[in-house]
Structure 1
Amino acid sequence: MDTETLKRVKQALPAYQSRQIDATLKLLDDHNTVPFIARYRKEMTGDLNEVEIRDIQDEANRISKLQQRKQEVLNQISEQHQLTAKLTVAIKATTQLQQVEDLYLPYKQKRRTKATIAKDAGLYPLAQWVLQFKRAPVETVAGQYLNDAVPNLDSVLAGVHEILAEAIGDRAEFRDWIRRYTERNGVLTSQLKRGGKEKDDNQVYSIYYDFQSALKQLSPYQTLAMNRGEKAGVLTVKITVDEAAIDRYLQFQLVGRHRGPSVAIVETTYQDAYKRFIGPAIERELRRALTATAQTHAIQVFGNNLYHLLMQAPLKNHVVMGFDPAYRTGCKLAIMDGNGKYLAKQVIYPHKPASATKRSQAMPAFLKLLTDYHVDMIAIGNGTASRESEQFVADAIKQVDQEVRYTIVNEAGASVYSASAVARAEFPKFNVEERSAISIGRRLQDPLAELVKIDPKSVGVGQYQHDVSESGLDEQLDRVVETAVNQVGVDLNRASIELLAHISGLSKQTAKNIVAYREANGSFSSRPELKKVPRLGPKAYEQSVGFLRIINGKNVLDNTDIHPESYPVAKQVLEKLGLNLKQVGTPAVTLALEKVDIKNLSGQLNVGAATLQDILSALQRPGRDRRDEMPAPILRTDVLKMSDLKPGMKLQGTVRNVVDFGIFVDIGVKQDGLVHISHLSQSFVSNPAAVASVGDIVTVWVLAIDEQRQRIQLTMVAPND
């Protein structure tokens, strides 16, 4: 990166120290991954996390593209022999792409316009004369410009008008002022389009039939909703602004105190330039900017929700039954052991329209599976027939001696996985529904390991996801998955190709090679054995090895997030405390480490304090899974119906989705309840994500129930408060 670009990055990111930006960009240029830098290069970056590192990375990319565009514009204007020293300085000083494009506009190659035709007819000098506000009658001077192309005064004056209007429309300073004025004072209005109501059967857009909001107060979800309504032919959306103020500005800039016959021509011209060129262009720009901002926000909301969904606590060491509900085709059941290994499957028909015979056979078959395989957890998908299946399961578990509990699992994306090449490779002889039951059960056992097999856009935690840039959404969601997988780490001897492919430094191919090596040679016994995997070179090993765990391997440190490059330091720490590797993870280590002076010890060992702190934490808890600290899913033994709900009733629920206007909570009935943003807290809440995250267990009170519309209104503010 050149010096000028680096300087501009630092100017754009005043929250970061210069050395942090230098170090981060150098590490990225050296092909280090963001998770690796965040975990293992803390001293170099000043302990920046993944979000901060990507913030620097994104800004550096933006500035690089801006600098590249500036150079392209300078070259193109220079080729026209119109590049002046003043224009060069102005272009180089810009900080936004739009400013560059504004300055370039007068020199941009255009299709043949009325203004260019007028110039070809020799009217450019007359247009320049008009702007000098001479006292001579315009018609008299205009008569000197008659020719075959402009045979009368009307055509001459019309040509002058077009030349001036285009020139005024191209003036960068005019566009900049009017753009900023419109941003500050503009209003976005939305009206029902003629015939639009017939296209809005469910009145989805009714709130926007007669709606207006100041641009600076518009919420991102409102922007996306109106965009969708406009695209559907339901709404007419436009930006309005006080044009009188803009008229006064242009009058001051172009006419000022001048008097004479040219004034009326110039006034008419700048008013037309605004209506035809400047106004519509700025409206398009601002609508695009509003949409881009709203899309960015929606993508961030989706990413935040996805992260918390992936980081939900796993339910380890339980025999789980995945229950994929259905009516006509029967309920598909699949049983997995405590490690997620498939054990058995069956189809039962507990619901109509199945025959009475099939329905009578369903309960005995179900109970036999529970007892034969010692099932203690049941994951019921939340799709069609979910609540009837929940009632069936609740009735069944009352009939067995063992303790069995169930929970409703969001099955969004399970059908996508079931029909995928990944699922076919994993269970080639199963049908789609049977694979879906396995996926539902495994989502309860290890949400992260199962959900990485599915396109993140299919997991059902987005907001207006179909209205945003697909490439932008994909990029953000890939980053979120990468962050989640590497923060947790994976068991090298059990991880799927899909999980390994998200590990720092590994590609889909190296992930396949790891699994192939594992299948051919048996389990890995140590991290260095990874070096034997084909096409996994030194850089990939360095970047990935710290995130790959080996349980019960030759070296206990291989089951920690301590990087092998720091093993000597870890051993020195143990020696100084009079301990050894066999004691890692025991109370003796915890007791000894509580007395350690980190600052003093880091000086003795010549290692950074942040890295040393991570090493000490890992020595206390090998195999630590940070998801264990997350809320566990709510497990139930009985059914709650919407008819059971009463206003004021206190319940616990799981947050299923977080959107701009509130959160959706699963309280154990068929329909998730909405806690509107105004009911999240006694205090003002501007962002629901600051109050709750997907997977959180929250206490709520019922506000209102509308059984006909299947809507439940909840509050997180206790009635007495």
Structure 2
Amino acid sequence: MPSIKNLLADQFKLAPAQVDAVIGLIDDGNTIPFIARYRKEATGGIDDVTLREFDERLTYLKNLEARKAEVLRSIEEQGGLTDELQKKIEAATVLQRVEDLYKPFKKKRATRASKARDAGLEPLALLMLAQNRSNGDPYAIAAEHLNAEAGYGTPEAALQGAADIIAEHVADDAEHTALLRDFTRKRGALTCEATDKNEKTVYEMYYEFSEPISKIPNHRILAVNRGEKEGKLKVRVRADEAFAIEQLEKRVIRRPSIFTDTLKACLADCYKRLMAPSLEREMRAELTERAETDAIRVFAKNTENLLQQRPVRNARVIAIDPGYRTGCKVAVLDEYGKLLDYTTVYPTPPRSETAKTQSKLAEYVRRYDINVIVIGNGTGSSETEEVVADFIAKSTAPLRYTIVNEAGASVYSASKLASEEYPDLDVTTRGAMSLGRRLQDPLAELVKIPPQSIGVGQYQHDLNQAELGRALADVVENVVNRVGVDLNTASASLLGYVAGINATVAKNIVAYREEHGRFTDRRELKKVPKLGAKAFENSAGFLRISGGRNPLDATSVHPESYPVAREVVKRAGAKLEDLGHGIPNAGERIEDVPALAAELGVGLPTLRDIIAELEKPGRDPRDDAPEVVFSEGIRSFDDLVLGMELTGTVRNVVDFGAFVDIGVKQDGLVHVSKMADRFVKHPSEVVSVGDTVTVWVAGIDKERGKISLSMVKNK
């Protein structure tokens, strides 16, 4: 049987030494971001995404081995462990196989079979299964096993009781189960019908629906599940019953006997009563798990791209959270996100105070030197946008505006976190602030919102929330640590995603900062309560200090490598004080980088990372992302024309396409079939959240408020 290490090496195509190193690092309490960034020599440069997959698989295999040991112990205690069974259990590579083999030994509630066994009918069942009687009367043989007190007072009843024992025995057999599970998976179908055929619902396409299990796409599985949950659909898994029973007959009935007819009836009952319902539950669970796993993967990728959107630096912002009756909440922010002013304006119906609104905007622009206006995309957005666009057209100030997705803003503004951050502000002002800060620094602001509420997936509220939360937390942690965090400005929410720092320690860092003032040296972190040596090792390289005592603290160079970094600076003919603007071509100034690595006793990947960081210290990888698209004239359906070419921003990627913000209230849909002049299996092959794309208007449905777009001209 392959060991855990061998299985991991084979799955991830790694050398045994790499597997040993990664397992050792994980077992020693090192975080995935730390291992990925600062232990490249040991891992061979495995990235953070692969390391997380490795960690998940390692956990699964450890749990599998623990379950095997538990099952073997239980079976042995029951006296049922044979050498053959032990070998099968030890050779199992999935938990399902282990559970199949353990099934006959699990304690069951009272069943028809257990009742028959208690009545002494097991010898008759074994006689029937032996199939050695080709002559004689089965009823006469059954009459020898009657037990009237237990309810088996006739030959017919005795035969039925024995058949019940056989049915349970066959259903508990791991090999029979595996065969029919595979058959159902390959040849079964998911079918639906309406609970009320006359009711008009969004699930009408599923009122008479059937699709092979092997082919049904994941988003349809989730749609069907939701329809069933809402009581609109009846959902079943169907398979060829006659074929399945025939397969059981071939495996169980070895020769003609006087019990053949009884055995055939028994196997039909076994499949219909015991195996088919169980397999149906398994297939539904398997389909749901498959669909949810894929949806979580897409959701996580969308979230990753959203968090990595390019910040708009030096933006002094007027942020507007639109509304009708209660007006539009306005927050004015400086380029660092500090609140300068706030108010409420009423540019939308029923008051439609356009002049007053524009006058207030003009006042803020003059007083605070505003250069960007941000508008939320919620209720009243289009009317507010019209007023803002008109104001900018008449203004002489260098102003731009853009629409920001409001998803999750209300969740944050009403949260305990928001009330702790801004106890003197009402929820609507907090919401407007959040919109402005999403433009200035998407990552720092969006980490305050539960990832499920960010609005970049599909069916997220139907998914396994624990799995979704874990996957999204991993994504946020990966992004935060790739970008790095300013130790002196980061919120507790952001700090909590830094490798090695939990929510409690994050709050302690903020409290320490408030009590003692800004950090001037990374080593000060060791004074923060509950931030121990391991937490410091994991986190220090991801926490930046600008303007501190040591210029290296503003870089991603880990403190453990400071001596090496100082030597590199020296060999490059520079000084640490030069790091503010970087040391251009530091690598070229060193004659032999591999030789220097050997001389300094440091791994070559680490040395190259240090050199790259010294050349561009504190570089933000988000600067490579597309720039924010600012609005230019298209504000409503009435402005759209079929065939019109537009530039937009991808807001969400789902299984069937991508939603693109083109400046009107409703995002347009680019169906997967209109993304390229080739077959596209999944939209993520072509676009990601945050991408800037050129699209053409392919359809306008004003009545339903839908816009169809194409990324291929004339398609």
- Bin for the TM-score computed over the shorter chain: over 0.9
Does structure 2 retain, via aligned residues, the 8 Å contact 1:312–1:631? yes
For residues 523-569 of structure 1, give each alpha carbon's deviation from its aligned partner in whole angstroms, at most 9, with x where no partner exists.
Answer: 21222222222332221111111111111222221111111111111
Aligned to 2:557: 562
User: Which has the larger displacement, 363-372 or 296-305?
Assistant: 363-372
The amino acid that maps onto 1:78 is E
Aligned to 2:143: 143
In 2, the alpha carbon distance for the partners of 1:190 and 1:80 equals: 43
Aligned to 1:93: 91
Q: Is 2:271 the partner of 1:311?
A: no
Does structure 1 retain, via aligned residues, the 8 Å contact 2:5–2:19? no
Aligned to 1:714: 709
Residue 179 of structure 1 deviates from its aligned partner by: 0.7
Q: How does 1:486-497 map to 2 (within 5 A)?
A: 486-497=481-492
Residue 299 of structure 1 deviates from its aligned partner by: 0.8
Alpha-carbon spacing, 1:78–1:56, altered in 2? closer, same or farther (3 Å): same
Alpha-carbon spacing, 1:596–1:313, altered in 2? closer, same or farther (3 Å): farther
In 2, the alpha carbon distance for the partners of 1:65 and 1:102 equals: 16
Aligned to 1:23: 21
User: Which has the larger displacement, 515-524 or 694-703?
Assistant: 515-524
Q: How does 1:344-493 map to 2 (within 5 A)?
A: 344-354=341-351, 359-493=354-488
Alpha-carbon spacing, 1:431–1:591, altered in 2? closer, same or farther (3 Å): same
In 2, the alpha carbon distance for the partners of 1:621 and 1:655 equals: 30
Alpha-carbon spacing, 1:266–1:220, altered in 2? closer, same or farther (3 Å): same
Secondary structure of the residue that 2:341 maps to in structure 1?
strand
Residue 692 of structure 1 deviates from its aligned partner by: 0.8
The amino acid that maps onto 1:174 is H
Aligned to 1:533: 528
Secondary structure of the residue that 1:430 maps to in structure 2?
coil
Alpha-carbon spacing, 1:569–1:595, altered in 2? closer, same or farther (3 Å): closer
The amino acid that maps onto 2:577 is K
Does structure 2 retain, via aligned residues, the 8 Å contact 1:391–1:639? no
TM-score, length basis structure 2: 0.96
Aligned to 1:245: 243
In 1, the alpha carbon distance for the partners of 2:143 and 2:423 equals: 86
In 1, the alpha carbon distance for the partners of 2:553 and 2:585 equals: 19
Secondary structure of the residue that 2:585 maps to in structure 1?
helix
Alpha-carbon spacing, 1:588–1:28, altered in 2? closer, same or farther (3 Å): closer
Secondary structure of the residue that 2:312 maps to in structure 1?
coil
Runs of 4+ in structure 1 displaced over 6 angstroms? none
Secondary structure of the residue that 2:318 maps to in structure 1?
strand
In 2, the alpha carbon distance for the partners of 1:521 and 1:141 equals: 92
Q: How does 1:566-585 map to 2 (within 5 A)?
A: 566-584=561-579
In 1, the alpha carbon distance for the partners of 2:584 and 2:546 equals: 19
Does structure 2 retain, via aligned residues, the 8 Å contact 1:130–1:138? no
In 2, the alpha carbon distance for the partners of 1:39 and 1:596 equals: 25
Aligned to 2:194: 192
Aligned to 1:336: 333
Q: How does 1:57-96 map to 2 (within 5 A)?
A: 57-96=55-94
Residue 492 of structure 1 deviates from its aligned partner by: 1.0
The amino acid that maps onto 1:436 is G
Aligned to 2:275: 278
In 2, the alpha carbon distance for the partners of 1:231 and 1:589 equals: 60
Does structure 2 retain, via aligned residues, the 8 Å contact 1:187–1:215? yes
In 1, the alpha carbon distance for the partners of 2:78 and 2:363 equals: 84
Does structure 1 retain, via aligned residues, the 8 Å contact 2:358–2:388? no
Aligned to 1:657: 652
Aligned to 2:120: 122
In 2, the alpha carbon distance for the partners of 1:403 and 1:482 equals: 37
The amino acid that maps onto 1:186 is G
In 1, the alpha carbon distance for the partners of 2:250 and 2:204 equals: 43
CA RMSD of aligned residues (A): 1.8
User: Which has the larger displacement, 297-306 or 548-557?
Assistant: 548-557
Does structure 1 retain, via aligned residues, the 8 Å contact 2:5–2:16? no
Correspondence for 1:699 among 694, 702, 711: 694
In 2, the alpha carbon distance for the partners of 1:592 and 1:151 equals: 93
Q: Is 2:540 the partner of 1:545?
A: yes
Residue 625 of structure 1 deviates from its aligned partner by: 0.8
Residue 362 of structure 1 deviates from its aligned partner by: 2.3
Residue 342 of structure 1 deviates from its aligned partner by: 1.0
In 2, the alpha carbon distance for the partners of 1:536 and 1:248 equals: 65
In 1, the alpha carbon distance for the partners of 2:591 and 2:673 equals: 47
User: Which has the larger displacement, 455-464 or 12-21?
Assistant: 12-21
User: Which has the larger displacement, 656-665 or 218-227?
Assistant: 218-227
Aligned to 2:104: 106
Does structure 2 retain, via aligned residues, the 8 Å contact 1:325–1:383? yes
In 2, the alpha carbon distance for the partners of 1:410 and 1:474 equals: 21
Secondary structure of the residue that 2:297 maps to in structure 1?
helix
Identity among equivalent positions (%) equals 46
Correspondence for 2:258 among 258, 261, 273: 261
In 1, the alpha carbon distance for the partners of 2:339 and 2:9 equals: 55
In 2, the alpha carbon distance for the partners of 1:545 and 1:609 equals: 21
Q: Is 2:216 the partner of 1:175?
A: no
User: Which has the larger displacement, 160-169 or 693-702?
Assistant: 160-169
Alpha-carbon spacing, 1:386–1:152, altered in 2? closer, same or farther (3 Å): same
In 1, the alpha carbon distance for the partners of 2:496 and 2:322 equals: 32
In 2, the alpha carbon distance for the partners of 1:574 and 1:285 equals: 61
Does structure 1 retain, via aligned residues, the 8 Å contact 2:194–2:232? yes
In 2, the alpha carbon distance for the partners of 1:563 and 1:55 equals: 25
In 1, the alpha carbon distance for the partners of 2:582 and 2:695 equals: 39
The amino acid that maps onto 1:306 is T
Q: How does 1:509-520 map to 2 (within 5 A)?
A: 509-520=504-515
Does structure 1 retain, via aligned residues, the 8 Å contact 2:138–2:259? yes
In 2, the alpha carbon distance for the partners of 1:447 and 1:197 equals: 47
For residues 502-524 of structure 1, give each alpha carbon's deviation from its aligned partner in whole angstroms, at most 9, with x where no partner exists.
Answer: 11111222222222222222221
Alpha-carbon spacing, 1:588–1:618, altered in 2? closer, same or farther (3 Å): closer
Residue 609 of structure 1 deviates from its aligned partner by: 2.0
Aligned to 2:8: 10
Q: How does 1:147-166 map to 2 (within 5 A)?
A: 147-148=147-148, 149=150, 150-166=152-168
Q: Is 2:34 the partner of 1:36?
A: yes
For residues 120-169 of structure 1, give each alpha carbon's deviation from its aligned partner in whole angstroms, at most 9, with x where no partner exists.
Answer: 22211111111222022211211212232322122112111211111111
Secondary structure of the residue that 2:363 maps to in structure 1?
helix
The amino acid that maps onto 1:523 is R
The amino acid that maps onto 2:236 is K
Which blocks of at least 5 consecutive residues in structure 1 are unaligned?
Answer: none
For residues 375-427 of structure 1, give each alpha carbon's deviation from its aligned partner in whole angstroms, at most 9, with x where no partner exists.
Answer: 10111011110010001101111232211100000011111111112111221
The amino acid that maps onto 1:146 is L
Aligned to 2:501: 506
Alpha-carbon spacing, 1:5–1:474, altered in 2? closer, same or farther (3 Å): farther
Secondary structure of the residue that 2:130 maps to in structure 1?
coil
Alpha-carbon spacing, 1:596–1:473, altered in 2? closer, same or farther (3 Å): farther
Secondary structure of the residue that 1:407 maps to in structure 2?
strand
Which blocks of at least 5 consecutive residues in structure 2 are unaligned?
Answer: none
Aligned to 2:673: 678
In 2, the alpha carbon distance for the partners of 1:368 and 1:12 equals: 66
In 2, the alpha carbon distance for the partners of 1:596 and 1:467 equals: 58
In 2, the alpha carbon distance for the partners of 1:144 and 1:579 equals: 101
In 2, the alpha carbon distance for the partners of 1:65 and 1:76 equals: 16
In 2, the alpha carbon distance for the partners of 1:121 and 1:421 equals: 63
Residue 212 of structure 1 deviates from its aligned partner by: 2.0
Secondary structure of the residue that 1:188 maps to in structure 2?
strand
Secondary structure of the residue that 1:653 maps to in structure 2?
strand
